[in-house]
Amino acid sequence: MAGLRHYRQALQEGTRLVSHTRQAGRSSLRRVAIAGFVGTTIEYYDFFIYGTAAALVFADVFFPALGDVAGSVASFATSAVAFVARPLGAIVFGHYGDRWGRKGTLITTLLMMGLSTVAIGLLPSAEAIGVAAPVALIVLRFVQGLALGGEWAGANLLTAEYAPHGRRGFYAVFPQLGGATGFALSSATFLATDIIIGNSDEAFLSYGWRVPFIAGAVLVLLGLWARGTIDETPVFRAANKEMLSTSRGSPFAGVVREQWRAVLLCGGVTGVVFALFYIGATYLTTYGTATLGIERQVVLSLGIVAAAVVALFVFLGGRLSDRYGRRNIIIVTGGLALVWSMGVFPLLTTGSPLLFGFGLAGAFALNGLAFGPVGAFLPELFATRYRYTGAGVGFNLGGIIGGAVPPLLAPVLADSFGAVAVGAMIAVLAVTSVVCTWALTETSHRRSLHDRHVPGVRKASGQPVP
């Protein structure tokens, strides 16, 4: 009887220990999800207020001598500088993230983004200091691009490497939601500023646009607190112990040598995802106010609603990808984007705020539906030893293809051939995304991200290439 009693006590103690461990794991995963969401929200807020300001005021503040069209092109060109910097940021911070850990690297990117954003808010205009103003603007935008280039992969790796099998798509959406939330916050901040100063164009151009940039300093402190509460991922810790006993070359050299096809294909996959968002967030903001004559406050309000649409569809896309596969959701979204891009711009030319809002929501919905699965899809494609670098470079390569070039070309195409030419450009990117996604293998079946075997690229037969 005494032995049976001791056995029962040991069994109860073991049960309590297992329960406590599982609860601690769930609590840790919740903290990681929250930290990923808060951190990317703040970084994207800082990044997007630049795009909103570029669409609304930078042509007048920093390029007043160029005229309306050329000033808009120059303004968007400075915005595009960040997309050129993003792959470089992915390489630099990917190196440190793959060698020394995700957490410390993400704290560094957050500080870089915050300091450069506040500096933009304090930057004198071209009227005050001449050509030094746009030059300094370009440098600070480049620093923003470096920071965000190192941010996305690290934030998604934190959640993807913590998440359990079968729910990786769900947990990976939390950093992805930061994009939509950051855009909503940036639009809301500009809208509130515009309302407070009484919808005065003179006051908005003079100092109103600076408020969202300077206010970003408070958000950075919140982000540092959120990221300081989490631990390094178990996958990285385990892989790091293995790598300490072997030679450790450059992660970038390793991913180029072993998975360069996957990196290039990831750029093609995400090109249309970027294009849908940044055409909506930057070009359509200018198109709505300058070409269609819709009031600035109406356009900013519609942007907030559209951001809520992004968040909803990001969540939906991530959840569906756990059930139906990452590739299937992205391919279907690419097909829908092809149809949308060819039909929406004739609707926008009517000048109706309602149809403008419908077109904006459509772009953001399609962006979210594909962006949700991407958060898990790209990290699952790469081996642990260079996952930060591979996923980051592939994703930010898509940023150049879809985030830098289309908003820059859109005003010129619309001015020369009409708005339908912008839709044709997006359609080409949609087809490219479908083809590149098909060329990659499905990854949702991977039980663990701690291994050296990766799904790779499909052969013509459908089998993966190592």
Region of poorest pLDDT, from 206-210, 224-228, 274-278, 281-285: 281-285
Between the ranges 171-175, 285-289, 315-319, where is the mean pLDDT highest?
A: 315-319
Identify the band that residue 457 occupies on the pLDDT scale cut at 50, 70 and 90: low
Q: Domain residues of the chain, as ranges?
A: 34-230+250-465
Identify the band that residue 322 occupies on the pLDDT scale cut at 50, 70 and 90: very high
Q: What is the pLDDT of residues 346-356, one digit of tens each?
A: 777 777 777 77
Q: What is the pLDDT of residues 48-102, one digit of tens each?
A: 788 778 877 888 888 877 776 677 778 878 877 888 888 899 899 988 888 877 7
Which one is the CATH code of 34-230+250-465: 1.20.1560.10, 1.20.1250.20, 3.40.50.300, 1.10.3720.10? 1.20.1250.20
Q: What is the pLDDT of residues 260-273, one digit of tens each?
A: 999 999 999 999 99
Higher pLDDT, 18 or 317: 317
Cα maximum dimension of the chain:
94
Give the C-alpha separation, 200 to 215, whole Å: 20
**Model pLDDT, residue 285:** 72
pLDDT at 453 over 70: no
Identify the band that residue 241 occupies on the pLDDT scale cut at 50, 70 and 90: low
Q: Which of 429, 434, 436 is CA-nearest to residue 410?
A: 429
Q: Which of 103, 408, 140 is CA-nearest to residue 235?
A: 103
Identify the band that residue 252 occupies on the pLDDT scale cut at 50, 70 and 90: confident
- Per-residue tokens: 390: 């591979």
Average pLDDT of the residues of the chain: 81
**Residue 46 CB-density burial (10 A; 0-12 exposed, 13-18 middle, 19+ buried):** buried
- Per-residue tokens: 178: 């930061």
Residues 203-211: what's their mean pLDDT?
Answer: 83
- Per-residue tokens: 407: 């908003």
**Model pLDDT, residue 228:** 76
Q: In b/e form, how buried is each residue of 271-303, taking b as 16+ CB within 10 angstroms? A: bbbbbbbbbbbbbbbbbbbbbbebebeebbbbb
Global confidence as pTM? 0.79
